Every structure is written in C-alpha cells, then in structure tokens.
Structure 1
Amino acid sequence: MRTLRPADLAREHGLSTQAVRNYERSGFLPPADRTDTGYRIYTEVHASALHAYLALVPAHGYPAAGRIMAALNQDDLDRALGIIDSGHGRLIRDRETLDAVRQAVDHLTAEARPDHRTGPLTIGELARRLRVTPATLRNWEDAGIVVPERDPATGYRVFRANDVRDAELAHLLRRGRYPLEHIATVVRQVRTAGGTEALATALGGWQRKLTAQGLAMLTSAARLSAYLDLRNR
C-alpha cells in the first residue's frame, strides 16, 4: 500500500498539515506508523479515514463526526452506529417539526380573524377565546409554549399579540395531538422567524437545509463503508 506524507493528505483537502496531525491525535484517523527519524507515515487507509471524517461533518456536525471516527478507530462499531442512528433520528424529528410548522402556518392563515381589541388579554379572556381552561394555558407556560408578561401592578399574566398567536398555534397543534415538547419546538421556530408570515417564507430554506443534510448523510455513509472495507482488508 502506497505511503503518504501529512502534506499529501492536507493538500488534497485544503487543510494544513497541522490539522491532519490534530485529527490523528484526536482519534479521527487511525494511528500512523513512524519512520526512524519520527516522521509520520500515512497510507491510503488514513486518506480514506480523512475522506470519511470530512464527509461526516456536514451530515452530523463536528462533535458527532469526531465521536463516530474515534469509535471506529477504537474498533467499537456498535457505538459508532449508535451515534449515526441518533443523527438520523434527529433528522426525522426535524422533518416532522417542519411538517407541523407548515401545517400550523397554513391553518393560522386560513383561520385568521381580525381582533379589534387594542390591549392585552388576561388569562381568562384568552382561555375563553380558545375555549380551553386557564389551567391549560398555565401548563403551556410551564412547557415554554407561551411566555406572558406580568402586570407590574397586579402580578397577573398579560397576553399580548405575539402571545395570543403562540397560544392559537399551540391550540391548533394540540388538536392534532402533538405533544407539548413538540409544540414548544414549533413555537420557538415561529418566534425566531418573527411571526407566521416571516416563517412561511423561511420554510423553503429550512427544507433545503434538511435535504442537504440528508444527502450529506448518504455521502458520509458511502465514505464510511469504503473506509471500513479498506481498513479490514
């Protein structure tokens, strides 16, 4: 098997030779043999390991990619596969969340109705509007779904326009039997985007990111398989 210098591996991927050494030191590459003078001797196995690690990064992120390669290089295949399985599970949940957000935004747009009130709602007023109990709204608050302010004079909860929007979104998703943890994730996405209209325009970008990650997972799986085949020859 032909030998390679650290510079050979680094040049192919636009890395520094120190980065290659750091990857080996961290366990992302198998240990290299040394010459009598102490220089590292890399082989095609190391090149394949580097290909696999770099393919894992966009698929699973830097921390998980490192853990996967370290597990493989410690001959702990099951641990590596478990980390990979967890990544696929998160991608599935992200896709489910995206679907839930898209459906919720569609429902909110379809069911939107003007509200001529100029001030915030009390917990009782919002409960009557949604036809739920105040205890339900308090449960949603505990789950981080709604974050009402408190009236400084009375200490009572006050639900402003964004809080009402979040509560309506939660109500729609609860009717779809989504768990509170899932709903909290959806609502955070709405808040981050700045509202349902802004979120609707961001869904396409979110979908593209998930698609890119899924394709990266396919590529990384092929690179990992090639590395394992070469290493086990």
Structure 2
Amino acid sequence: MRTVDVAKECGYSVQQVRDLERLGVIPPAVRADNGYRSYTPLHVRALRAYRGLAAAAGPVEARRLLAGLRTATITEAASAIDEVHAGLARERAEVVRAQRALERVRAEEDGRDEDSMTITQLAEALGVRSSTLRFWEEEGLVRPERVTTLRARRYGPAAIRAARVVVALRAGGYGIPALREVMGSLDGLDGAADARRVLRGRLDQLAARSVALLRAGSDLAAVVDATRGTPGPPE
C-alpha cells in the first residue's frame, strides 16, 4: 500500500502517517528501490488502534503505548492495555464519588438557614485543614469575608456552599486549574446544581473514551499478535 492509500483508509493525512511512523506508532515501512514507502494492512490496523487509544487516553499516552507494544512481551502488552481500561474505571469512580458528595451537600442545605462560620469551624465541618481553605482562597475558589480589625476570615452561606462544592469536585479528581475554571462558571445558589451538570458531562466524556477503546480492541490485538508472529483476527 502507498502512503496515500493508508492515509485514506485511516482518515489521516499523508503527513500524519509519516509523522506517526517517525514517532514509532507504526512499524517502519519497507522502502522500495525507488525510495517510496510500502505499507501493509498491519500499518492500517496500528493507525486505527492509535486513533482509539488517543481518544481514550490522549495522544501522548497512545504514542507511548503503541511504540512499546512492538517490543513488549504478551504479558506486558496485555497489562499495558488493561491499565488504560483501569484508568478510565478509576476516573469514573472518582466522578461518582463527587456526585455522591454533591448530593450530600444538597441534602445538608435543604431547609437550612446557614449561619457564617470561622475558618476553623468550616475546616472541621469539611474535614480539611485551615491551610487548605487559605490556599483555596488564594486560588480564587472560595471567597470569605473579612471582619474585625484583625481581618479575621468569616465564611458566609455562599462561601460555605462554594467550599463544599470544591471538596466534592476534588473528590472527583479535579485539579486546581480545572477547579478554577469550573468554580468561575458557578453562581451563588445554583453552584451545586451546575457542578452536578459538569460531573454528568464528565461521565459522558468518559463513556465516549471507553467506547473508543473498545472499538480499538481488535486492532490492538492484531498489533500485539503481529509482533509475535501470531496470526491475528481477519479484517
């Protein structure tokens, strides 16, 4: 197969096929006497496997994994692919934990006329350190009020709700940059509801990534089999 044929089969450009070959995602093509590349159906399957892996785990991880599969033992290859599945399962479990935490936030707030709290009281209520609350304030995630001549922090109802949402999203695996973006889009009493919407969206994304990995399964198996001289499944 010519480079243009492989590109057409996989939905990549000719340059992308060459780049992915250079990066080790697919095996080196055989060079004809005239210098032109000659590819096989295995190259097509490797590129399809890369597309699914990139959608599931990101292009950097997909390149690393595909390049490693060519020299890995069957045990190592199976373990590497299983870890991608396990990583998606861990992310999903984190989001589900965050959803449950947000439901507890809603249950606690129903019918409550919440008073303000000191930093120590809020830290104890949330199960975090006071230094964590100060850090969240520095990052713009939670905004307490300043009262008295000592400028002591007081957390009103809005700040308390924001802190609870941050705790829930942190449990869902959100890092500070992502939290800053999410919290910036939340507004007052709707904060927890918006956070639930964000988490539902993340579950949908995880489902799409899992399906992409499943679609790549037979192509990944063909790549693993080919490196060991084992006949793979038919096209």
- TM norm structure 1: 0.74
Map 1:1-233 onto structure 2 (within 5 A).
4-73=1-70, 75-77=71-73, 80-81=77-78, 83-112=80-109, 113-115=111-113, 121-124=117-120, 126=122, 130=125, 136-138=128-130, 140-141=132-133, 147=142, 151=146, 154-168=150-164, 182=171, 185=174, 188=179, 191=183, 194=186, 195-231=191-227, 232-233=229-230
User: Tell me, which stretches of 5 or more residues in structure 2 are unaligned?
Assistant: 231-235
Distance 1:208 1:183 in 2: 14
- Secondary structure of the 1:71 match is helix
Distance 2:170 2:106 in 1: 23
- Secondary structure of the 1:95 match is helix
Q: Is the 8 A contact 1:101 1:186 kept in 2?
A: no
Structure ranking higher on relative contact order (CA contacts 8 Å, 6+ apart): 2
Q: How many residues align?
A: 216
Distance 1:168 1:18 in 2: 49
**Partner deviation per Cα, 1:166-212 (whole Å, 9 max, x = no partner):** 444688x7xxxxxx973774994973662211122334322222222
User: Tell me, which stretches of 5 or more residues in structure 1 are unaligned?
Assistant: 174-179
Alpha-carbon offset, residue 64 of structure 1: 0.8
Query: Alignment identity in percent?
Result: 30
- Secondary structure of the 2:39 match is strand
- TM norm structure 2: 0.73
RMSD: 3.6
**Partner deviation per Cα, 1:101-160 (whole Å, 9 max, x = no partner):** 22122222222144365xx643245468x3x89xx5415437859755584963533434
